Amino acid sequence: MASGIFALLDDIATLMDDVAVMSKVAGKKTAGLLGDDLAVNAEKASGFMSSRELPVLWAITKGSFLNKLIILPLAFLLSAFLPAAITIILIIGGLYLAYEGAEKIHEYLFPHKHKKEKPKLEKLSEEEVLSREKEKIKSAILTDFILSVEIIIIALGAVGEEVLLTKILVVTIIAIVATVGVYGIVALIVRMDEFGAKLINLNDEENSFSDKVGHFLVNALPKVIKGLSIIGTIALLLVSGGIFVHNLHFYHDFIESIPVPGIILELLTGLVVGFIVFLVINSAVKIYKQFSTNSGQ
């Protein structure tokens, strides 16, 4: 009886050890995508009244957990009964990530020209303010759903050779850590300027240490969000390129002999594929608009 209990404990310890190791592997695979997730959510959670930032962020976080509850069982079912679908979804996700990265670079190089309009002050009722807030929360949760699918599928792909129980434990851990980690950091970022303002008002002494730190935090917030956006764009291309390199065997065999570091190949792959998809989609949109205009005449 005692030997059976010890054998069971040994099996559990072995399983936990495997889970810990594979969690690190899956974490590295998804780390790049979390940079974009962080940048997007920091942008989505900012722009509200100071008193509403944390309640809005909490609402988005709850929506993110609900997204994971929907996505995880579906991902595990596919992994158990239709594993080939995981690779297909990975490739589709890679195309989307590459396109998004290329679109951001194109927008940076060739920004859209916006008409300069004088800002209009709107008098909104409390109901209208809450209605707009709910719309922004829904938009943020939808964006989180798309990013969550990508994170979970990439994590699942990283543990594709493991037994089902290990897959479930590892991917669930990644999903929870991603949600808590990302939204915890977002909360710190969106409150950075508020904390800086409190430091500035901490005492009446001018140019004190608290004043300097406070001004630094207030001025740093837009730069931090912009920096996260740049890091997120690079991460999108790296993650997408890594998906193609490691899941398209003919391409992997083709580039294996190229004497270039893997990370550079992944970045270039994501960049090239991204702009190809970007050109295809833009051309299709232009053709559709032209067809719609001609048919309407």
Per-residue pLDDT tens listing for the chain (297 residues): 444 443 433 444 444 444 454 455 445 555 555 665 666 666 666 656 666 777 888 888 898 899 889 988 988 888 888 878 878 887 888 888 889 889 989 888 888 665 555 545 456 566 766 777 788 788 778 877 877 887 888 777 777 677 777 778 888 888 888 788 878 887 787 778 778 888 888 777 777 778 888 888 888 877 877 777 787 788 778 878 888 887 787 777 777 777 777 788 888 998 999 999 999 999 998 888 888 777 666
Q: Give the pLDDT score at 274.
A: 92
Residue 15 is predicted with a pLDDT of 40
Assess contact for 265 and 240: CB atoms under 8 A.
Answer: no
**61 close to 206: Cβ distance less than 8 angstroms:** no
Residue of 174, 184, 167 lying closest to 148 (CA atoms): 174
The span from the CA of 19 to the CA of 13, in Å, is: 10
The predicted pLDDT at position 211 comes to 81
Give the Cα-Cα-Cα angle 279, 283, 287 (nearest 5 degrees): 175
Helices (H), the chain: 2-45, 50-81, 84-109, 126-158, 164-190, 192-200, 209-247, 249-255, 262-296
Residue 172: per-residue pLDDT: 85
Q: Are 247 and 160 in contact (CB under 8 A)?
A: no
Say what the pTM is: 0.68
Identify the pLDDT of residue 129: 65
Q: How far apart are CA 264 and CA 260, in angstroms?
A: 7
For residue 154, the SS3 value is: helix
Q: How far apart are CA 183 and CA 189, in angstroms?
A: 10
- For the purposes of burial, counting CB atoms within 10 Å of the CB of 196, is it exposed (0-12), middle (13-18) or buried (19 or more)? buried
Question: Can you give the residue ranges of every domain in the chain?
Answer: 16-117+124-296
What's the pLDDT at 109? Answer: 87
CA dist., res. 150 & res. 178, Å (int)? 12
